[in-house]
Amino acid sequence: MTQIDAEHPATVPRELLIDRFAPRSDFALTSHRVVDADPDTAYHAVRELDLTEVHGALVDAAFWIRGIPERMRSRERGPERVPTRLTLDDLTAGSEWVVLGERPGEEVTFGAVGRFWQPVVEWRPIEPRDFADFAEPGFGKIACSLSVLPYGTRRSLVTYDVRTILDDPPSWVGFRRYWRVVKPFVGAIQRATLRSIADTAERGGAR
């Protein structure tokens, strides 16, 4: 029989916010990092994350290679605008990505709909309220979550969860081929993102 300390009650399992928008996934990858900072400081670092500062050999290669088709298509329009800062709020304000929901201090979930396995991505604008039920053949959904939990008495566990849902067999097959190639790069991006969050939080946050 399990004994429960009255001063330290057992933790009750709680649904992740991302589970509301992507309760299942066809392809998923999750990375974790223990951060030497309290949860409030770690979450502040999540929300202040500057994606332009997320780097690494595989990360930079992934973004450069993925951008080749779009650069070729748009080279007659002149040089692309390169943002100097790109938080989650900046990303969702200037693209087809949307913030799906947030539990302040705990988790923020964002996502997009499109044909993202094609050389030039075809995005489909969507409202957060419509994301969970969207199931149009030929398109897929990406749901991402950054969450923070206490880890011991003074540290935090930060998790980056990416889930992809395809609702028709041709799209599933097309994405599976794409996923086999990009999965290592997705993992590298997750780890680099968590490293950037940890660096900010462990410096005391960008307050």
- For the chain, the structural domain boundaries read 27-65+84-202
Q: What kind and span of H or E run contains 161?
A: strand 155-166
Choose which CATH entry (2.70.70, 3.30.530, 3.60.21, 3.40.50) describes domain 27-65+84-202: 3.30.530
Sequence length of the chain is 207
152: CB partners within 8 A, 6+ apart: none
pLDDT of 75 strictly over 60: no
Average pLDDT over residues 108-113: 95
Residue 156 in contact with residue 26, Cβ under 8 Å?
no
pLDDT of 70 strictly over 50: no
pLDDT tens across 10-58, in order? 455 678 999 999 999 999 999 999 999 999 999 999 999 887 777 655 4
* DSSP 8-state assignment for residue 75: G
**pTM exceeds cut of 0.85:** no
